[in-house]
Amino acid sequence: MKRLLAVMLASVVMFVGGVVFAQELGNPAKLIGKGQIDVGIQGNVVIKQSFSDYTLDRSFANGTSNSSRVGADFEDDAYYMATVTYGVVDRLNVFARLGLADGGKWLDYQAGNNWKGKLESNFVWALGAKFDAVKLDNGFGVIMGAQYLRYDNRKVKDWRSEETGQSAGQLGWSTNDSIDYWQADFVVSTLWTIGAFTPYVGAGYSFSKVNYDGQWNSQDPRIGWIKYDASFENSNKFSGLVGFDVDLGDHFKINAQGTFISRTAVSLGLSYCF
């Protein structure tokens, strides 16, 4: 089984090249019947998510303040999620996802003052629904899906200057930063079931918002502290997705999915329906 999962994930990566992860359709993507419950586990790796330039506000211990335009990317963020899907009726499913976001990096871009911070492990959750808009006897179908995903108070630590390679601590700063993040996705996908194999492609709209606040305290009492405040959103709102379900028998399914443009990542999941 482990070898099969590895082969499936490698196939997705080679097929879509630089795909983007989005779990708008849940795990699995294909709908289950009325009254059925599907439970699954899933691993996702967000390789890169870019954000529009934003205004970073600073306030200083001496009572002054200023602001500047900066840019940001999140990279190498892993999500480990459990998904429970319920068939409300034959053509409508709802799902909930709970898990852990772990291992990401925040790249902060300012002219001559670029920094990289580590996104700490944090609880993440999501709610969503999917609807069979078209379902034909030949296996062709159209699915509409929506999802809201969120985490709060995720700490950002281990800041390091990209210019000098020195940590914030080595430069005389202690840091206390956190972010709140939410993401809303709306997609329409077409699928075609061929025996045990159900490939699908889709497109949609994805909106992500980050709210950031932090405080850096200097070892130099003449400087004191600097407080930071900002909000920013993803730079690309369009999502394209590609993926497939494979029915392994005995109520088990594998789902692999990718999305591009809005985020760059891959995912793989295993689920059981009863």
Give the pLDDT confidence of 50-86 residue by residue, as tens digits.
999 999 999 999 999 999 999 999 999 999 999 999 9
pLDDT at 25: 58
Residue 20 · residue 260 · CB < 8 Å: yes
DSSP state of 194: B
Helices (H), the chain: 2-16
What would the two tokens of residue 216 be? 């850096």
pLDDT higher for 56 or 259? 56
Q: How far apart are CA 32 and CA 86, in angstroms?
A: 8
Which amino acid is it at 156?
V
On the question of a cis peptide bond just before residue 221, with omega within 30 degrees of 0, the verdict is no
Q: How far apart are CA 140 and CA 78, in angstroms?
A: 32
What would the two tokens of residue 185 be? 């996705």
Q: How far apart are CA 91 and CA 161, in angstroms?
A: 52
pLDDT at 122: 98
* Domain interval for residue 202: 2-273
SS3 content of the chain, % helix, strand, coil (to 5): 5, 70, 25
DSSP state of 219: S
Q: How far apart are CA 99 and CA 14, in angstroms?
A: 27
pLDDT at 260: 87
pTM of the full structure? 0.87
Q: Look at residue 12 and tell me whether its pLDDT is greater than 90.
A: no
pLDDT at 203: 93
On the question of a cis peptide bond just before residue 28, with omega within 30 degrees of 0, the verdict is yes
Average pLDDT over residues 120-147: 95
Q: What is the domain-level CATH number for residue 19?
A: 2.40.128
Q: How far apart are CA 232 and CA 51, in angstroms?
A: 7
Average pLDDT over residues 228-257: 94
- Split into its structural domains, the chain has a count of 1
How do strand 197-218 and strand 92-102 relate by DSSP bridges?
A: unpaired
Residue 13 · residue 266 · CB < 8 Å: yes
